[in-house]
A and B are shown apart, each in its own frame.
Chain A
């Protein structure tokens, strides 16, 4: 009998750690013969903590939203071979899983990431063996070319092309680097794969290293992911012990070593040349390309950099064939894409879908629509480099070219859903605030232009917008795009340009009518009290920090606009919905 607890960062945050401890205690106290293990994130974050039981006859059962108090019941029903219906995963939720196509996430939530044997039992390290024994580096690259796999780090550059360039570079030493810096501040796909299936990344990197002729690999992970770092360390150690890493791997002439480099918190370090500078212990400042990393990268040697998700696809492609992979998807975008579906969505989490699926299907079919059934307004893709896609374009399909056409980008996979209560001007301000802080400062337009744009947006949200602001934003945006050296500056204005494209009216309402229809921009709100609903209970006036509410018991209250600081305390306090905004 087996008890498997989902312990990704998200599961632990929801209490999976405590559930694990409770289970351990219970099993020990009652001297039960039950195998307790943990696994990575299955992606259904809204159901965490998730516990799976496996009976001796192999029968599996999944329980959701489990608490410590439920552990005894779960274990007892496992022993008695009964089922606790009220906490079982619903048919509907199982259906959601079945709507996905799991290649990258094939093992996430299915194996114990801290046990290499489980990865091997799922066919792990078969792909590298096949490469080493049956394929030349050129054939490996051809297979990846057939698959048409494009980089999942954002830009969608064909993976085979980069590998081929690095292979052609002549040098004694070459490097294979995994970009696990995951900078988009609303995305966690890479983290889940690192935590849930670290060996798939190691194997993907090995295959790439064999193809380009590298003997050293580095995984650059962001410091904010302690669990991912810990699991990677364990995975590398185990791979070394089992002889998958080191000298003369599987008795061949191929040797490969791997280490982890922990980042130190800078968004720009996700950019290739900045990442290399950071790996060398410098400030993470991008430099002009060419020379490309494939010619001169880490320590001036040929270097290939790929994203986590890109690598996770590779073993599958080698095992199943590039043409099998190319069966999935659209004309120019093949395979699957993992998205972190978040924001105002009912069933948020990690989803892996085939390219070509529509945004509507992802948000309304898999994600089950908007929290509290509010009105959908837009979905943000590509984070600080991307844009918002409005309701009219919900039928857009997921493929690099189609998404680009909307003014957003595929990005690394952040998908933040927004509803009627999200202010689009404020969203643009949020992203500019982010990029302005993260600009490394090398290019003047990126350093100062983003600051000026942020100031204008702050002014507009603060009720001080004036005529000409929109035009000025557009002018600055185009200048910054034209005169920045790296992708950060080149894309930083996108959140503003895309919201201007689809939500210009909201900007105009802020500037000319001094109104924020989403009711998010404080300075533009006016609080009043409804004569009809106020019962004269004085609660609001007691909560008001500035004494702006005149409140006589049993009389209708009123708010002094001069004194009101728009903190919203009265709105929160009122039990009769009498405070209006």
Chain B
């Protein structure tokens, strides 16, 4: 939160309708956190504290719930979120090698984001496409029957698309 422009002076305005929606529904903390993450991409400390204050729950509890569930991210993610399946079928069919290929290509480890904020790697359990294993999902699109080479190719293509986008931007 290092932006000081006007639009951001009330950075949590967008949450107010969410609070209204769940006001009379006890036990909605998880739903509120899910909607907040949807809005902001991740849950910063400030977001968690703001939520705690507004729904009348201790900050420690909000933090406890947010850290308990793997869906919640406390750090921002890159433009492309790579969800690599580490389910049993994918594991048996070599998901480890795919993880190595991704880590090598992007110089990050699981849970990390590249310096240019382009990619984040998250491991997940079964994406339900076991017959195409090993599988990864990038921003909702599924890629199956991966090999190390194919994985690197996909990542390079995304990188290239990004840099050509940037060229267009600067023109």
Point out residues on A near B: beta carbons under 8 Å: 9-10, 12-14, 45-46, 48, 183-188, 191-192, 223-225, 261-267, 278-284, 299, 340, 342-344, 348-349, 380, 383, 414, 416, 418, 422, 427, 430, 434, 440, 572
Contacts and interface: CB of A to CB of B under 8 A. Distances in A.
A418 B89 CA distance: 9
B34 interface: yes
B9 interface: no
A283 to B, nearest CB: 4
A412 to B, nearest CB: 12
A185 B129 CA distance: 11
B34 A223 contact: yes
Given A224-B124, A266-B70, A416 B89 contact: yes
Nearest to A520: B96
A30 B29 CA distance: 51
A166 B136 CA distance: 42
Nearest to B91: A430
Interface in B59-79: 64-65, 68-72
Contacts of B92: 343-344, 416, 418, 422, 427
A344 B132 contact: no
Contact of B69 (A183, A184, A265, A349): A265
A14 B148 CA distance: 19
B93 A187 contact: no
B83 to A, nearest CB: 9
Contacts of A278: 30
Given A223-B71, A430-B91, A342 B128 contact: no
B29 to A, nearest CB: 4
Given A278-B30, A283-B64, A344-B93, A10 B129 contact: yes
- 5 A-B pairs closest in CB distance: A186-B88, A45-B131, A185-B125, A264-B69, A13-B142
Nearest to A228: B128
Contacts of A280: 26-27
Given A262-B31, A281-B30, A282-B65, A187 B132 contact: no
Contacts of B72: 264
Contacts of A225: 128
B125 A9 contact: no
A266 B68 contact: yes
A342 B69 contact: no
Given A13-B129, A416-B92, A185 B29 contact: no
Contacts of B88: 184-186, 342-343, 380, 383, 414, 416, 430
Nearest to A431: B88
Nearest to A195: B128
Contact of A45 (B28, B71, B124, B132): B132
A12 B89 contact: no
B151 interface: no
B26 to A, nearest CB: 8
Contact of A265 (B29, B71, B129): B71
A396 B128 CA distance: 27
A344 B90 CA distance: 10
Interface residues on B, range: 35 or more
B34 A262 contact: yes
Contacts of B124: 224
Contacts of B71: 223, 263-265
A342 B95 CA distance: 14
B52 interface: no
Interface string B123-156: 0111111111101000000101000100000000
B130 A188 contact: yes
A53 B16 CA distance: 49
B131 A279 contact: no
Nearest to A283: B68
Contacts of A185: 86-88, 125-126
Contacts of A434: 125
Nearest to A279: B27
Contacts of A344: 92-93
22 contacts: A9-B128, A9-B129, A13-B127, A14-B132, A46-B131, A184-B126, A185-B126, A186-B126, A186-B130, A187-B126, A223-B34, A224-B126, A261-B31, A264-B30, A266-B70, A281-B65, A282-B27, A284-B68, A340-B130, A343-B89, A380-B88, A416-B88
B135 A13 contact: yes
A268 to B, nearest CB: 9
A522 to B, nearest CB: 9
Contacts of B91: 186, 430
Given A13-B135, A344-B93, A188 B126 contact: yes
B114 to A, nearest CB: 20
A235 B98 CA distance: 37
B18 to A, nearest CB: 14
Given A185-B125, A187-B126, A280-B27, A348 B68 contact: no
A283 B128 contact: no
Contact of A281 (B27, B70, B86): B27
A414 B69 CA distance: 23
A267 B71 CA distance: 12
B90 to A, nearest CB: 8
A224 B144 contact: no
Nearest to A437: B70
A372 to B, nearest CB: 12
Nearest to A277: B27
A476 B45 CA distance: 38
Given A188-B126, A262-B34, A343-B93, 11 more contacts: A10-B131, A10-B132, A13-B127, A185-B125, A223-B71, A279-B27, A281-B30, A281-B31, A281-B65, A430-B88, A430-B91
Nearest to B83: A224
Nearest to B124: A224
Contact of A264 (B34, B127, B128, B131): B34
A224 B128 CA distance: 9
Contacts of B34: 223, 262, 264
A418 B137 CA distance: 24
Which of A12, A48, A265, A418 counts the most B-chain CB atoms under 10 A from its CB?
A265
Contacts of A427: 92
A422 B92 CA distance: 7
B5 to A, nearest CB: 32
A269 B126 CA distance: 16
